[in-house]
């Protein structure tokens, strides 16, 4: 059994009252989950302050309390540790308690407004296809190799996060691909983690109910890159004007990716259809089953990450050509009479425009495009009628009809009442079908090189 002294390693400490040699049986920051012998970390939340429950948890059997201010009433047999930031201490303590699992994995974080789930999920699937054991921490689901664990947050709390990483190590995983939300960075849920790399996708309007200003939102994302060590890599999309800002003063090995100019990793869209994309990535052509310019960026990020992790170019492209869309991310269905239905998690104005723009760039004829946009809860009302989705009605070239759906109630937890990506059609209506595979007459990257499917000749 670990002692309190063991799990306080690397924590910034102001003072201690009591004996740090006391054995501990767990780490808790929710007063309702206290068990005998556990350590309670008093964290200030958005709604409640853990310091208000210190007396309650000591009576319930807590052996130690980590807090930002030691209470006036000291209970005998309880050790009190005062720290400057209890949320930061929680991350480090949880990591120490679970034997620093991130140091035993190749942990890659993906951050940005849009694309995190697709990139993290497809990297996980790509490495499975390449024969590795891998883990996934995402908005849609968490995976410990092949075992699925339900997801409640984009990034779990520090204790759950380290528990999952520890389970991945026990299962023999080599890699973990993780969405890193701005909430988790500000709330120090990732404190104590050892990232081997990080990917920046883009930055647009989102979560201003929490961050208040766009600059604060940007600064939160940047903190991930500020803390990367010298041996880590940082991949940034410099077609986004915030890409270079993300890696200012970063110690990491910086790599850039673009579609619009030249960079370390460059991609050009040759063909774009509902069946998929034909891309030219760093001079090599590959047919992929994902659709749209935004997915070209996602696929380029996946390729760049794989290369930075030492995967051979040919192996990366071959595996990429076999990847399929993530649940709820531009999934499309076709009715018996040819009507196409598309389901996408787009929940920001920029993401919605990307999806609508992609559809209009591909669709043929003069058929109507009907858009139903939903915005759940009452958290960031600037994304809704007036300043958000609704203002894009003016761009008549984008859609024929716009319907807006709104769920007004808001839950207790900041991220929980968002429409998770897993809330997708579980059954397809009779006669509708999900297209399988790629376009039969398109180029694809196979294990022996690039082939033309209709001629079966090497090119």
Length of the chain equals 459
Helix (H, G, I), strand (E, B) or coil at 298: helix
**For position 454, what pLDDT does the model report?**
31
pLDDT bracket for residue 228 (50, 70, 90): very high
Q: What does DSSP assign to residue 206?
A: -
For residue 354, is pLDDT > 90?
no
Pairing of strands 64-67, 79-82: parallel
Is the alpha carbon torsion for 342, 348, 353, 358 positive or negative? negative
Helix axes 313-320, 293-308, angle to 10 degrees: 140
Q: Do the beta carbons of residue 236 and residue 264 sit within 8 Å? A: no
Q: What is the CATH number of domain 4-97?
A: 3.40.1390.10
For residue 73, is pLDDT > 80?
yes
**For position 190, what pLDDT does the model report?**
97
Integer Cα distance of 333 and 317 in angstroms: 26
Mean pLDDT of the chain: 84
* Fold of the domain built from segment(s) 101-320: 3.40.1190
**For position 365, what pLDDT does the model report?**
61
Mean pLDDT over 219-226 rounds to 96
The answer to which of 79-83, 123-127, 330-334 has the lowest mean pLDDT is 330-334
Integer Cα distance of 127 and 123 in angstroms: 6
The answer to which of 16-30, 32-46, 142-156 has the lowest mean pLDDT is 142-156
Q: Do the beta carbons of residue 37 and residue 16 sit within 8 Å? A: no
Residues 6+ positions from 263 with CB-CB distance below 8 Å: 238, 256, 257
Radius of gyration of the chain (CA): 24
Helix (H, G, I), strand (E, B) or coil at 392: helix
pLDDT bracket for residue 342 (50, 70, 90): confident
For residue 332, is pLDDT > 80?
no
| Residue in this structure with the two tokens 């990483």, named with its chain if needed | 165
Q: Do the beta carbons of residue 173 and residue 210 sit within 8 Å? A: no
Integer Cα distance of 307 and 296 in angstroms: 16
Mean pLDDT over 406-415 rounds to 43
């Amino acid at each position: 059994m670990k002692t309190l002294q063991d799990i306080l390693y690397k924590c910034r400490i102001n003072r201690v009252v009591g004996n740090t040699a006391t054995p501990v049986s767990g780490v808790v920051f929710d007063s309702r989950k206290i068990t005998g012998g556990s350590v309670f970390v008093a964290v200030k939340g958005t709604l409640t302050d853990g310091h208000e429950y210190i007396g309650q948890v000591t009576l319930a059997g807590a052996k130690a309390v980590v807090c930002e201010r030691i209470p006036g009433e000291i209970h005998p047999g309880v050790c009190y540790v005062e720290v400057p930031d209890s949320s930061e201490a929680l991350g480090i303590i949880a990591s120490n308690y679970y034997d620093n699992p991130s140091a035993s994995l190749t942990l890659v974080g993906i951050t940005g407004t849009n694309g995190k789930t697709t990139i993290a999920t497809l990297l996980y699937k790509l490495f499975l296809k390449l024969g590795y054991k891998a883990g996934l921490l995402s908005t849609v689901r968490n995976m410990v190799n092949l075992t699925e664990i339900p997801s409640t947050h984009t990034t779990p709390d520090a204790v759950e996060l380290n528990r999952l990483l520890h389970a991945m190590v026990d299962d023999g995983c080599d890699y973990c691909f993780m969405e890193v939300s701005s909430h988790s960075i500000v709330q120090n849920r990732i404190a104590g983690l050892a990232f081997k790399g990080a990917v920046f996708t883009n930055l647009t309007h989102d979560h201003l109910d929490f961050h208040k200003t766009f600059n604060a939102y940007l600064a939160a994302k940047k903190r991930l890159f500020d803390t990367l060590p010298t041996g880590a890599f940082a991949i940034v999309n410099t077609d986004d004007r915030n890409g270079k800002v993300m890696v200012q003063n970063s110690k990491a090995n910086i790599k850039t990716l673009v579609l619009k100019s030249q960079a370390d990793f460059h991609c050009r869209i040759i063909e774009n259809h509902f069946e998929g994309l034909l891309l030219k990535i760093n001079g090599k052509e590959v047919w992929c089953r994902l659709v749209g310019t935004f997915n070209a960026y996602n696929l380029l990020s996946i390729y760049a990450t794989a290369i930075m992790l030492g995967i051979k170019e040919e192996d990366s492209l071959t595996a990429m050509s076999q990847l399929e869309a993530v649940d709820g991310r531009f999934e499309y269905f076709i009715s018996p009479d040819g009507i196409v239905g598309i389901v996408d998690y787009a929940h920001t104005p920029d993401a919605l425009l990307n999806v609508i723009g992609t559809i209009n760039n591909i669709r043929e004829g003069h058929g109507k495009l009907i858009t139903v946009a939903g915005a759940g809860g009452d958290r960031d009302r600037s994304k809704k009628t007036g300043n958000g989705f609704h203002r894009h009605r003016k761009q008549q070239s984008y859609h024929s009809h716009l319907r807006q759906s709104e769920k007004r109630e808001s839950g207790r937890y900041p991220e929980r009442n968002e429409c998770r990506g897993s809330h997708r059609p579980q059954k397809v209506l009779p006669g509708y079908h999900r297209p399988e595979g790629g376009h039969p007459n398109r180029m694809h990257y196979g294990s022996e090189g690039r082939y033309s499917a209709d001629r079966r000749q090497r090119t």
